[in-house]
Chains A and B, each alone.
Chain A
Amino acid sequence: MLARSQQAMASPDRMDAAYAQPLSLATSRPDGAVWLSLAVLAALLLSAGSVAAEPQTLRFQPHWVPQAQFAGFYLAKDRGWYQDAGLELEILPHGAEHPAPATLANEDADVALLYLTQALELREQGVDVVNVAQLIQDSSLVLVSLAESGILVPEDLYGERVSRWASFSLQPEALFRTYGVQPETVDQGATMAALRTGAVAAATATRYNELVELYLGGLDPDEIEVMPLEDHGVGLAEDGIYVLESTLRERPDDIRAFVEVSLRGWEYAFAHPDAAMDAVMDRVIRAGEPTNRAHQRLMLEALRPLYLEDDELRGPELDRQDYQLAVSLMRNLGHLEWEPVPYEQFHRDLAQ
């Protein structure tokens, strides 16, 4: 009972489980090799079969639980825009139990949303993923602390206990190294309870989820101190649309159509937040997520500046320098051993 209940408990806002999977991939090299061989095999099989098979169905794997982070995709599907573009889009069940990197590597999905670091880790494991559209160009990651603890600059972290997601330790580590501080780090759970109870002095958070959670937990903006990683040179690009290189080779039109329609969905979501909320809440309730409309609405508003600049979508190009920064950070911290592929091979601009 506890096990089951813990799973249920895990579902709302838990990131650790989701990133536990890619972490385990990254740390266990034999697994990586298996993935690689599986992927190659699958690619061969798929390319052989794709000539005969109807390329109508496209399986899409979002990388977290149903929430406003995927509003653009939900809306485009609900409006039938994928269908209009000749795609039968299947949004796969998503959440902690459905880690997107593994699903994509296993070819259980044709398209997946991944963080740039996750994609690079897949590459490290030999999975030839390709970025076909970068959605979030900036890092939404911040270090957050209660204002009363007086942590204003990275140096203040000295001797403090800081929690970070094991699968997301790269950027905080880079930050600590940059400023030469060595706080006590602990793995971060799914909620902000550790920060609120004082078990940790600072925690990692995304602007669109954990900061919203803190606000909706009754903390006013002036009661927390936010240290954006972006401001300290360790911010990395986040959500991007990824496919296997083989998939792109075999179904370039479907992928292009998917990207175009999805971007349209995002434009529409930001222009019509209420419609976006309806689409999001519909899935939230069906999935039994205990979140609420207020949280999702605030999430969408927090995503707005990450997606839009002057009311225009900033994507879908992946910035070359963002790519280089991610690569160098990961190499410096030992997260990448292999020489990564050149930018041109990693990111494909489908518009060309």
Chain B
Amino acid sequence: MNGRKSLAVRLALVTLLTTGSIFFISSGALYFMVRDIMLEHAEDQARELTHATANRIRSSLNEVAGSAQGLASALNSGQIRPDGLFPVLDDVTLQSDAVQGTAVTYEPYAADPDERYFGPFSYETPDGIERMNLGGDDFDYFTRDWYQIPALTRSGFWTEPFPSAADPDRLITTYSRPFFDPDDAEALRGIVTMDIELPALTERVDEVEIFDSGFAFLVSPRTRFITYPQRDWIMRESLFSLAETLDEPELRELGRHIQRTDEGFSRVPEVLLEEPARLYHVRLPEANWAVGVIIPERELFGDILRVMHWVLIIAALGFFILLGTITGISRGITRPLKGLASSAGEIARGNLDRPLPPIRTGDEVGQLAHSLDEMRLSLKDYINDLTATTAAKERMESELKIARNIQMSFLPKRLDLADLDVGIDLAARLIPAKEVGGDLYDFFPLREHNALFFAVGDVSDKGVPAALFMAVTKTLVKGIAEQDPRDPGEILARVNNELCLNNDNGMFVTYLCGVLDLGSGEVRLANAGHNPPLIRRADGTYDWLKLPPGLVLGAMEDMEYPVQTVQLGPGDALLLYTDGVTEAADGEQRLYDEDRLFELYGEIASRPARGQVDAVLESVERFADGATQADDITVLALRYCPRDEECAE
């Protein structure tokens, strides 16, 4: 048995493939569903954390913005005069932990008609509060963002963070706010600014921990990193510059998304962390910064991946067990099947004696084995019967063959007229059909009467009974004819009566006989239901010879058979035949028929008797063209030749 085609392997393969597919589809679906759930949870967690971080930063920013607002309001109301600003600025700066420096810068000549720049500024140093005046030819503060933008927009403004000049690692940002003329709320007088140090804020961002390696970061309005684990990116790279350098357009899209949405949960392009990650961001509306929390997917989906690993391991074990079970079951099925297949092979080779292997299972295989065994026994019986039948048939056939031979040996082989001084050319032939048939012909000299008896007959049936009936007819005819050959009608009447005795089988025979007076050439013919003969005169004319009708022999007792006398001259000829000639059929069941025979006879009647017989038989054979011969074919030709030379042509 070929292993590839073995049932056990196929069964195992199909089962494993099917269960495997189901398992992978269902566990895949499970994985993605759980993944989505975990993603949602992570989003919730990240949202909470990002908001918490953002809120802490916002509260600090708002505190500073509030202080600046208070100072601006005081200036709006005219409570503070420009020359009395420094003590106020010192106080404001010292009061707030977040504020590192405070300045009030005026529009050109707004504080003092002689001074283009007027900008008192108090700031903290480790040694205490310091004061200075901003502005000058080398410091035209009117075009600084912190001055110009609030001046033009008339609203508060947070600058992009920038590194402190004192310590480049410390970041500073400035909140600025316009204030107006106490007498004219439309007339801008200057800008209040408050500096805050970012480390206090960024440390809080840096402290954020989520999962194992999740982290938080802060970006400026241009998405420049204010704080980020990769320190050399801080204040240098933005999401947009990285998008260019790393050639990752998705990073640019992420940057634009952060700039343009208040918050969101997005996928981070792999190039940033060199692994897939998720980002939750919240924009700080005050400063337009954004706080982001990044969680690597590895950690986000770590648990589910671990679970999936175990599921896969268990599944692999399960598959092995399944494989073993299926193999076992299919072996149990196929082992008896293998035995059965081998036994069936033996049966096919004809060995019916080998018993089938015992199969005790009551399942379909057991039933199959039982059926196969019954088939074996039936076959055995049948073959035994067949052998006996065949032997009997062979014996019968052999006996029939013998019967046939005997039948044929009844027929005279040649005409012995040596002791008679007369020329007769006579030939006859009987071509038997397959079985023992019922045709006959006969001829014999009647020496005492210087005559020749000749006849053709056809028994109604076939087989051994017909053969026996023919033999009886022939014997009777010969016996009666030799006693009194003068009247063939009388011969037929007596034979008929003999045949009718005890003819329980209802058999009969058609019979045409004639007695030829060798001296005169006179022929006396009597017919018992047989086909009419053909006659040919020496002058070449020929015709059917019309005979008075007579009933077939063996049908009814006491029948009379009229005799017709025909005078034959030298060279005249007669042709007798059975219906095996005229009813011979070709492959399409067309009959040879009398017309064809009549035509043929015109061509061949001048030939010697032997030649005529052969020509008729040959014509019939040609007509049949290989079709099975259904009946015996008998032809008898006779030429009257008182002197030898008249017949020899």
Contact = CB atoms under 8 A, between A and B. Distances in A.
Contacts of A16: 140, 143
B195 A218 contact: no
Interface in B135-177: 137, 139-145, 148-149, 152-153, 157, 159-160, 162-166, 168, 172, 174
Interface residues of A, number: 42
B93 to A, nearest CB: 10
A178 interface: no
Interface stretch (A104-112, A195-203, A308-316, A336-344): A195-203
A293 B152 contact: no
B121 A194 contact: no
Contacts of B166: 1, 4-5
B140 A20 contact: yes
A293 B141 CA distance: 29
Contact of B162 (A5, A188, A218, A298): A5
A218 B238 CA distance: 10
A290 B123 contact: no
B165 A218 contact: no
Contact of A8 (B140, B162, B237, B255): B162
A220 B253 CA distance: 10
Given A288-B168, A290-B163, A3 B152 contact: no
A199 B152 contact: yes
A288 B169 CA distance: 12
A188 B183 CA distance: 29
Contacts of B101: 1-2
B311 to A, nearest CB: 44
Contacts of B244: 216, 294, 297-298
B132 A161 contact: no
B527 interface: no
B360 interface: no
Interface in A296-345: 297-298
Contact of A191 (B134, B139, B145, B238): B145
Contact of B240 (A8, A217, A288): A217
A347 to B, nearest CB: 33
B148 to A, nearest CB: 6
Interface in A165-194: 166, 186-191, 193-194
Interface residues of B, number: 53
A292 B242 CA distance: 9
A188 B157 CA distance: 17
Contacts of A7: 165
Interface string A100-142: 0000000000000000000000000000000000000000000
B268 interface: no
A194 B152 CA distance: 9
Contacts of B510: none
Interface string B216-235: 00000111000000000001
A291 interface: yes
B81 interface: no
A197 B242 CA distance: 24
Contacts of B236: 290-292
- SS class of chain B's interface: helix, strand, loop or mixed? mixed
A2 B193 contact: yes
Contacts of A198: 153
A6 interface: yes
Contact of B222 (A5, A8, A9, A217): A217
Contacts of B172: 5
Interface in B340-357: none
A268 interface: no
A158 interface: no
Contacts of A4: 164-166
A190 B174 CA distance: 16
Contact of B255 (A1, A24, A218): A218
Contacts of B243: 294
Contact of A2 (B137, B168, B195): B195
A229 B140 CA distance: 27
Contact of A6 (B130, B139, B148, B255): B139
Contact of B148 (A9, A186, A215, A288): A186
Contacts of A189: 143-145, 148
A295 interface: yes
Nearest to A223: B256
B148 A294 contact: no
B531 interface: no
A49 to B, nearest CB: 32
B159 A3 contact: no
A95 to B, nearest CB: 13
Contacts of B100: 1
Contacts of A291: 236
Nearest to B242: A294
Given A3-B121, A8-B165, A292 B255 contact: no
A6 B240 contact: no
A290 B243 CA distance: 17
B241 A292 contact: yes
A4 B243 CA distance: 32
B49 to A, nearest CB: 25
A292 B243 CA distance: 12
B259 A1 contact: no
B139 A3 contact: yes
A202 to B, nearest CB: 13
B235 A5 contact: no
B574 interface: no
Given A5-B162, A9-B162, A20-B140, A218 B223 contact: yes
B139 A199 contact: no
Contacts of A216: 222, 238, 240-241, 244
Interface in B625-645: none
Nearest to B246: A294
A194 B157 CA distance: 11
Interface string B98-121: 001101000000000000000001
A2 B137 CA distance: 17
A5 B241 contact: no
Given A216-B244, A217-B222, A294-B240, A199 B195 contact: no
A57 B75 CA distance: 57
A218 B193 contact: no
Nearest to A296: B241
Contacts of B143: 16, 166, 187-190
A166 B222 CA distance: 26
A199 B243 CA distance: 28
B139 A196 contact: no
Contacts of B152: 161, 186, 194, 199-200
B125 interface: yes
A3 B162 contact: no
Contacts of A20: 140
Interface string A15-33: 0110010001000000000
Given A1-B123, A1-B195, A199 B149 contact: yes
A190 to B, nearest CB: 8
B121 A5 contact: no
A21 B139 CA distance: 11
B148 A1 contact: no
From A161, A218, A293, A295, residue with most partner B Cβ within 10 Å = A218
Contacts of A297: 244-245
Contacts of B141: 6
Interface in A255-292: 288, 290-292
A194 B134 contact: no
Given A5-B162, A294-B241, 11 more contacts: A1-B166, A2-B174, A5-B195, A161-B152, A190-B145, A200-B152, A218-B255, A290-B163, A291-B236, A294-B237, A294-B240
Which 10 A-B residue pairings sit nearest by Cβ, starting from the closest?
Answer: A4-B165, A294-B244, A294-B241, A199-B152, A189-B143, A1-B123, A217-B222, A292-B241, A9-B162, A8-B165
21 contacts: A1-B125, A2-B101, A2-B174, A4-B165, A5-B195, A8-B163, A8-B165, A9-B144, A16-B140, A20-B140, A187-B140, A194-B149, A194-B152, A198-B153, A216-B241, A217-B240, A218-B255, A220-B256, A290-B235, A297-B244, A297-B245
